[in-house]
Structure 1
């Protein structure tokens, strides 16, 4: 059923990795260290990236704790490999442009470290969206309830006035528990179809 003015969202929160931008973590990092994905996952520290995403440790501390055995790594080389791999997912830059033209304030709601700055440097997402709600800034990762309630309070909107888009069902479930309108991302085409069916996009 098409939306009414009562249900039309007043803001859109977007996951970034594998919703807007490619996620190179499990492809680029193992290759950079000449390891298989299985070897990489077995040897990397299980908590350091999560702590980096939470904003609890600095980049320097992240590099120092990258592997469980604390071997030294070339952090700058790793960053360059990640930078080179970040790309728009097909159709998403055009769709973000359409959403912005339709008057929707767009915000990233992403579990990510301050490497989001590299993504923005390369792909210029800030032309379309605001980065205020990245986990390294808020200290909260999806699907924790506060990851959704914090932006809701900051935007001074009710949960049902916000549309949340993410490629992971667990994050969609978390958003729905607090009342956000939600869409499980599978492709830009499917997202655009949903937006048009609900009359969210201008022609």
Structure 2
């Protein structure tokens, strides 16, 4: 069931922000003013540590099996089908698949049964259960990311998933089974209800409205620069994910505490 969208009022798109040159002033006990179209009054949220961190999931927190494992699943010698050759599996998979079916699935416009029917342009059969099992086996943390998430959680940062990944319970449970130990409730569910996806500006504004936070008090991390730039265009600070070590450095340069408390104690002893 779709919910009514209230956009944050903005007079003009803010200029993109260089995250390294704009350190964030950390607020731990001060209050946050939240603007709402429905009301001009300020809502006060106390003791909310800033910034709030918004994480993409695929190839940012976990490796994306679609690029690494799914082409092999469909290759001649995989034992699962005959859909593409073993020479250029990913390229041929892209040529065979329906151009918009997956996007429609991400937005919740079609369910998995309809996806299976139209996944390929020529409507050839799809082993849906085999595909789901292939993807579930392929999820694993990107190197060093789990340790970073643990340190951020230990330092009491509020972290949310902001991903285009579809509401696919059988597969999502594999992705978030461990990540949920570090991330808060996934904000992308709210966006799915509105059929929005990155890099649409409305997707970012909907997440800000749901979290009741100003854009300048958020940092968004994504491996795709297009999505990072879209976040910056609505005033959210952005970092392109390359690897966990560089992300830790960039967050630290922006004033985020990325060291574990035990490590801090050893450095000060």
CA distance in 2, matches of 1:117, 1:73: 17
Q: CA RMSD in A?
A: 1.9
* Aligned structure 1 segments of 4 or more residues deviating by more than 6 angstroms: none
Flag structure 2 segments of 5+ consecutive residues without an equivalent.
1-20, 28-48, 76-83, 265-269
Any conservation in 1 of the 2:24–2:51 contact (CA below 8 Å)? no
CA deviation after TM superposition for structure 1 residue 116, in Å: 6.6
Contact 2:162/2:188, CA 8 A, preserved across alignment = yes
CA distance in 1: counterparts of 2:213 and 2:64, whole angstroms: 30
Residue in structure 1 matched with residue 248 of structure 2 by the alignment: 192
**Correspondence for 1:27:** 68
Partner of 2:131: 78
Query: Does the alignment pair 1:176 with 2:232?
Result: yes
Residue 105 of structure 2 corresponds to which residue in structure 1? 52
2:79 paired residue number: none
Q: Which of the residues 187, 190, 195 maps onto 1:132?
A: 187
> Are 2:219 and 1:163 aligned?
yes
Give the TM-score of the pair, scaled to structure 2. Answer: 0.70
The number of aligned residues is 202
Could you report, residue by residue, the CA deviation over 1:69-106 in whole angstroms, capped at 9, with x for unpaired residues? Answer: 11111100110011111110001111111111111111
Matching of residue 17 in structure 1 with residue 58 in structure 2: yes
Unaligned ranges ≥5, structure 1: none
What TM-score, normalized by structure 1, do the two folds share?
0.91
Q: Does structure 1 retain, via aligned residues, the 8 Å contact 2:69–2:135?
A: yes
Aligned equivalent of 1:4 = 25
Q: Which residue in the other structure is 2:17 paired with?
A: none
Residues 119-178 of structure 1: per-residue CA shift (max 9 Å, x gap): 443542111112131554442111100111011011111100111001111001100000
1:67 counterpart residue number: 120
Matched-pair contact (CA < 8 Å) for 1:167–1:184? yes
The 5-angstrom pairing of residues 76-155 of structure 1 reads 76-115=129-168, 118-121=171-174, 123-129=177-183, 130-134=185-189, 136-155=192-211
Change (3 A) 1:44 1:74: same
Structure 1 residues 118 and 137, CA, compared in 2 at 3 Å: closer, same or farther? farther
More helix by share: 1
Distance in 2 between residues matched to 1:116 and 1:144, nearest whole Å = 24
CA contact (8 A) 2:139 2:174 kept: no
